[in-house]
């Protein structure tokens, strides 16, 4: 009777293979979580730790009820006492997969604790984490609600349009509030 010898892989080979499988699984899990956290639909309901579609950045927020049914505004203020710098709110995906050559109109209402400049950025983003800013401006916010609209032309193929609204806190306790964020395709 002939015996056959089976060679088991060297333990270093097994560990390397196992490390590779674990790394691939970790990368897939990371990408899934990152996509879920950064690509929230603007149509999502206001719930959870964020007030959809707004995600605070270096800020804390308060949901302010309004008289209209199913309507609310969100007030953002600098997170942490004594800190200075920029704080604001992000809408990761305002328009998913915008059509090339189409124009979108983005509108929102703003007010601030102190009159001053509020920054507005609207960008296109791609799968390669590339961004192009279509709107990068500041507007003058006051203590009363003011409506602002932005014309956003899309050129090329992108995963979506994102938006960032921010303010610089220069040591004064400030806040700003947003309400009634809208986006629509402009007539051709």
Q: Return the pLDDT at 47.
A: 36
Per the model's pLDDT, the better-predicted residue between 8 and 126 turns out to be: 126
* Mean pLDDT to the nearest integer, 28-52: 47
The domain spans of the chain are: 55-185
Torsion from C-alpha of 154, 93, 38, 73, nearest 10 degrees: 140
* Mean pLDDT to the nearest integer, 1-19: 67
Residue 177 has pLDDT above 80, yes or no: yes
Give the residue from 30, 182, 170 showing the smallest Cα distance to 91. Answer: 182
Digit-coded pLDDT (tens) for 64-123: 766 665 567 888 888 876 566 788 998 988 889 888 889 999 999 999 999 999 999 999
* Mean pLDDT to the nearest integer, 47-70: 71
Q: Return the pLDDT at 160.
A: 87
Question: Domain 55-185 class?
Answer: mainly beta
pTM of whole model > 0.75? no
């Amino acid at each position: 009777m002939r015996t056959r010898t089976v060679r088991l892989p060297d333990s270093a080979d097994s560990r390397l293979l196992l490390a590779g499988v674990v790394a691939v699984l970790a990368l897939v899990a990371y990408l899934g979580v990152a996509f879920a956290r950064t690509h929230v639909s603007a149509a999502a309901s206001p719930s959870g730790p964020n007030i959809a579609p707004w995600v605070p950045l270096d800020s804390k927020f308060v949901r302010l009820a309004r008289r209209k049914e199913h309507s609310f505004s969100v007030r953002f203020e600098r997170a942490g006492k004594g800190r200075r710098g920029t704080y604001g709110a992000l809408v990761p995906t305002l328009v998913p997969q915008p059509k090339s050559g189409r124009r979108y109109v983005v509108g929102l209402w703003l007010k601030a604790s102190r009159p001053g400049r509020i920054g507005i950025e609207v960008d296109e983003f791609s799968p390669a984490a590339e961004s192009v800013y279509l709107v990068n401006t500041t507007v003058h916010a006051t203590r009363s609600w003011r409506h602002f609209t932005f014309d956003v032309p899309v050129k090329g193929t992108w995963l979506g349009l994102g938006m960032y609204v921010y303010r610089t806190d220069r040591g004064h306790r400030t806040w700003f509030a947003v309400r009634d964020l809208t986006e629509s395709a402009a007539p051709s």
